[in-house]
Structure 1
Amino acid sequence: MSIVATRVRMGDALSAARRRVPAVAGVTAVAAVAGGLGLAAAGLGPWSLAGAAVILLIGLAAVDLALIPVLAMPATLATMRAGGVLSFADLVLAAASVAALIKLRGRGGVALQPLIWAGLAYLVVILPTLILNRFSANYIEWAHELFLVIGSLVVGFVIAREGRAKAAFGLYGLACSAIGVAAGVIALQSFASTGAFQAVYLGDLHKNTIGGMLAAALVIAYARPRWLDWPGWFSNLVLLCSGIGVAASQSRQGMVGALVGVFIVSLRSPAIGRWARRAIWAAGVPIVFLVWQQVSSQLASGNQFNSAYQRLAWYAQSIDVWHSSPIFGVGLRWWYTSIFGVSFQPPNAELEVLTCVGVVGLLGFFAMFAGSSWVLLRIDPMYGTVGAAVVLARFTQAQFDLYWVAGQASLLWIVAGACIGAMVRDAAERPELALAAPAPAPLPSRANPSRPNPPRPNRGALR
């Protein structure tokens, strides 16, 4: 018996060792890759980060393909360039779009079609500019915008339909909270050393990028839809830290965008009480006054180099560029060329679209936003409110800043797609609502009109 027991124990030990082999091999591989990337970072810089991102995406795909779309949402904050005109946010979004298309497989995807058609309305009507203006940046940017709109919608839809919304939105909220705290600390340090609050820049994150991204996080945390399943303390944390970050960045467009988003949520969300709604509206008054005062002060100063005067100069130059081709525009990303002797991206959504794709493209741009907002406002407010608020907040920000930029131009469509995905997931998880619906009255039979046909089973519901 002792020999048999010994053999059994040896067999169990070998089995346990075999089970540990994959884990040990995985840890060893990760350590080796991390060490190699650390050494490569000294000489290769951004290329090492790109290699790390590729390895991370491959690892996530091996575990679960749906995890790659989850990564796309916090990756919208990675605005640093990966080489050429693309950022790390663009690369992750491209990989996430491919993974989301594979995971889509038509399950509830029909509900996303109205938003897809709204995005395609813009992308189709700007095709003439690809024919009339033949330069590489024009073609690259059209493909870029295809991913920023359609790819982002599919990514957001798959995130929520696969039950990953809490993780994706949570990672984004945590990242924005960290940025907000860092911006607040830097603002306090600046005040302590200079006696005045100054706009905050964090590496590659411009103050308007900080304001725009954190404004979206603030609106999401304030709306706190039930399908997101955020605990109250976490939502309040993101709300507080994002608010600090927006204020510290001194991004006027971020403040106004956040105010518009919160205003929409307060109007449509039944969870917002009357006194809370009035408090939000009252808090908006000093924000509007502050923004108006700052702009008026800059215009009255006579300083031709401040941001207000610089924008006026860019507006005038944008009109001149648009006049050269008012119907179809001069091409996407025309400022990457030397055709007009000026190189700036117009800091206004309408002027940016007008110069690039003309009046025809601007009509498609309005159709994209109007159609998407109408769809989101028509569905159940529990799902559509946060999407409409983020979309319209971003549209408001773009009246005073750039629109087609990496990260910020995709986040709003990820959120919009997630709203539809969450609605589809909840409907699929509660089929009893369809079964409980009253059946239609049976029709009379042809043989005896006074006698109805026997009811037939609802085979579709039974499936």
Structure 2
Amino acid sequence: MASSTRRREIWRERIADGWANAWRWVLAAFGTVAATYFILERGVLGGATLAIVVGAFVIAAALTGSTPLAIALFAMPGLLVSQRIGLGGGDLSVSDAALAAAFGTAVLLGRRPYSSPLRKLLVINLVYQFATLFTVIVNPYPLNTIEWFHAWLLISGALIVGWAVGAAGYARLALSLIVFTACVFAAVTLIGAAFSYAEGDFGPATPTWPFPMHKNFVGTVLAFGAIVAYLNPDWVGWTKGWARFGFLLMTAGIIVAQSRQALIGLFAAIIVGVMRRSTTGRSRWVFLLLIPVAWLVIGMVIEQIESQNRHNSVFQRVEWLREVYHFWRESPVFGHGLRYWYNPGELPYQPPQAELEVVASAGVVGLIAFVVMWIGVLVVLWRVDPRFGTLAFAVLLCRAVQAQFDLFWVAVQVSVPFVIAGICLGAMDLDRRSKAAPNDVLLAEPVRRMPGSGVPIGRRR
């Protein structure tokens, strides 16, 4: 009788496990069909991009049973890809798709409760979202509403993704995937620059493989990776040699791309590292390296001004600022709506400066909330444990500085620094829990030690 009852219990458990894993098989089947459709119907070149993305997430879904956050980890390199996949006739990018998939995984399988610093950042972003809700109401068109949710995902969604990965003990792996992808971009940029220089073309290097990249896009992405490699926190555990090599490689990529805002943002992050040298171990001598780079930036600006070419980036930006100012005056309080430049009859371009873009889109109300949000985010991160907060603060300060000279609401350039900040906060919470209960269960990963902390992390033993 007892054995019969035990057999029934075993069968119930197997059936329950089967239903619990059924969604993975459904996703795998959907992914196979979708990949085949886009290759056959959309063409090999356009369809292959989406097929690779779908295939990667199918593999990640299959691994979710053993590694719950596999989808979020697979999404890390995709966060740096701005290529459009045109899903459903829309303008969805690989980065947006990767972030959305990682966010869903983080919400369902990420650790709870969130730490106090993360909750503060989410509330601060919620204040900005509430302020921009007025422009959504005043300017009722579909893209305005869609962008409102998209903006929340790029900040709060990215923070939650990073938190889930870091709190689960995958901080090193996630950051390694991001930095490795950035290093690939840097290598491609340098190779392209070498061929251009050989032909006598000393203009900005703009890679066309694995997808076309604007100089400011590739410069911004490389700056994020260079900051992580430069600070190389002890809890990440990279060797100094590899970190130094990655930093120099990505910095060289920024220089040949001639992305001035990326260089200035990197300057700001390096200054933060030196200011906290008791934690980062960075020497003041690094400032000597800033001299030739500063000379390069200033020289490029002076050269464009002296050329008196009304179509170069300096004079073009001045003209854009003037036009956006007059456009903002038509709706100063609540703005013209998010992504207004896609509407017929409106100013047909995205303003190339963060505050100018926000005030034109969301008015004075949105601008005040935007400034408060950024001040609040930086203050919160400056006050957390410097071992973890320095990298988070530096990478977001870099983004804030970059945005003073170029577009702000661009998927990759907003989501990636906030994901990195979330990873730092998640790793900090893991470290706290490890010290509080070093022998308790913390992760679903095999037992190992967090580099630099001597803290065991892994399954219950």
8 Å contact kept, 1:269–1:382: no
Matched, 1:370 2:378: no
Matched, 1:356 2:361: yes
Of 406, 424, 431 in structure 2, the residue corresponding to residue 426 of structure 1 is 431
Matched, 1:137 2:139: no
Give 1:190 shift: 1.2
Give 1:48 shift: 4.2
What CA distance in whole angstroms lies between the structure 2 residues aligned with 1:313 and 1:201?
A: 28
Name the CA shift for 1:42/1:148 in 2 (closer, same or farther; >3 Å): closer
Aligned to 1:267: 275
> Structure 2 matches for 1:228-239, cutoff 5 A?
228-239=236-247
Give 1:375 shift: 0.9
Give 1:237 shift: 2.5
What CA distance in whole angstroms lies between the structure 1 residues aligned with 2:41 and 2:246?
A: 32
Aligned to 2:298: 292
- Structure 2: which 5+ residue stretches go unaligned? 1-24, 439-461
8 Å contact kept, 2:39–2:46: no
* Matched residue SS, 2:199: helix
Indicate the percent of aligned positions where both proteins have the same amino acid: 34
What CA distance in whole angstroms lies between the structure 1 residues aligned with 2:91 and 2:35?
A: 29
* Matched residue SS, 2:85: strand
> Structure 2 matches for 1:64-143, cutoff 5 A?
64=64, 65-83=68-86, 84-143=90-149
> Structure 2 matches for 1:313-324, cutoff 5 A?
313-324=319-330
8 Å contact kept, 2:354–2:406: yes
Give 1:166 shift: 1.3
Name the CA shift for 1:67/1:300 in 2 (closer, same or farther; >3 Å): same
> Structure 2 matches for 1:162-241, cutoff 5 A?
162-194=168-200, 196-202=202-208, 203-241=211-249
Give 1:431 shift: 1.3
CA shift digits 1:188-216 (9 cap, x unpaired): 22111116354333342111001000001
Name the CA shift for 1:56/1:195 in 2 (closer, same or farther; >3 Å): closer
What CA distance in whole angstroms lies between the structure 1 residues aligned with 2:123 and 2:42?
A: 46
Q: Counterpart amino acid of 2:119?
A: Q
8 Å contact kept, 2:334–2:365: yes
CA shift digits 1:406-452 (9 cap, x unpaired): 1111011111111110111011111169xxxxxxxxxxxxxxxxxxx
Q: Counterpart amino acid of 2:235?
A: W
What CA distance in whole angstroms lies between the structure 2 residues aligned with 1:35 and 1:73?
A: 20
> Structure 2 matches for 1:393-408, cutoff 5 A?
393-408=398-413
What CA distance in whole angstroms lies between the structure 2 residues aligned with 1:192 and 1:170?
A: 33
Larger-gyration structure (1/2): 1
Give 1:172 shift: 1.2
Give 1:234 shift: 2.5
Give 1:105 shift: 4.8
Give 1:229 shift: 2.1
* Matched residue SS, 2:350: coil
CA shift digits 1:273-308 (9 cap, x unpaired): 5xx533221222232232122112212211111111
Name the CA shift for 1:399/1:35 in 2 (closer, same or farther; >3 Å): closer
What CA distance in whole angstroms lies between the structure 2 residues aligned with 1:103 and 1:139?
A: 28
What CA distance in whole angstroms lies between the structure 1 residues aligned with 2:216 and 2:354?
A: 15
CA shift digits 1:235-279 (9 cap, x unpaired): 123212111111111100111111111111121132555xx5332
Identify which range, 236-245 or 277-286, moves more after superposition. Answer: 277-286
* Matched residue SS, 1:345: coil
Aligned to 1:436: none
Q: Counterpart amino acid of 2:56?
A: L
TM-score by length of 1: 0.82
Name the CA shift for 1:283/1:339 in 2 (closer, same or farther; >3 Å): same
Give 1:77 shift: 1.6
Aligned to 2:259: 251
Give 1:232 shift: 2.4
TM-score by length of 2: 0.82
Aligned to 1:56: 56
* Matched residue SS, 1:430: helix
8 Å contact kept, 1:37–1:48: no
8 Å contact kept, 1:345–1:352: yes
Give 1:132 shift: 0.6
What CA distance in whole angstroms lies between the structure 2 residues aligned with 1:58 and 1:201?
A: 29
What CA distance in whole angstroms lies between the structure 2 residues aligned with 1:164 and 1:210?
A: 26
Identify which range, 83-92 or 58-67, moves more after superposition. Answer: 58-67
Give 1:75 shift: 1.3
Aligned to 2:4: none
RMSD: 2.5
Aligned to 1:411: 416
Count of aligned residue pairs for this structure pair: 404
What CA distance in whole angstroms lies between the structure 2 residues aligned with 1:300 and 1:209?
A: 26
What CA distance in whole angstroms lies between the structure 2 residues aligned with 1:36 and 1:337?
A: 35
8 Å contact kept, 2:131–2:365: yes
What CA distance in whole angstroms lies between the structure 1 residues aligned with 2:78 and 2:35?
A: 23
8 Å contact kept, 1:190–1:198: no
